[in-house]
Amino acid sequence: MSDGPEASLYQKRAGMLAPACSKLIEACRSLPSDVMQVQLEATLRDVIVPRTHDDCSLVLMAAPDAVRGDPEG
């Protein structure tokens, strides 16, 4: 994660990812890529960019449940 979106996606005091990261990963697993693209752009524009004065970049990778070995996936 670059230092731009860090303020919104990483809880520095706790040393862990913010709950928003889990929501983004789950959405990536469950939504069609075109829908996810639109939602990710909106999240960057409406949530992350207003909280930073730096550039913003975000790469999101999430394996589908079937790839992770989930028997229901």
Structural domain containing residue 10: 6-56
Q: Is residue 16 part of a domain?
A: yes
**Cβ proximity of 73 and 30 under 8 Å:** no
Q: Is residue 12 part of a domain?
A: yes
Q: Is residue 34 part of a domain?
A: yes
Give every residue of the chain whose pLDDT is below 70, as ranges: 1-7, 64-73
- Provide the number of structural domains found in the chain: 1
CA dihedral 8, 11, 13, 15 (to 10 degrees): -140
Q: Is residue 64 part of a domain?
A: no
Q: Is residue 72 part of a domain?
A: no
Q: Is residue 70 part of a domain?
A: no
Q: Give pLDDT tens digits for 12-22.
A: 889 888 888 88
pTM comes to: 0.60
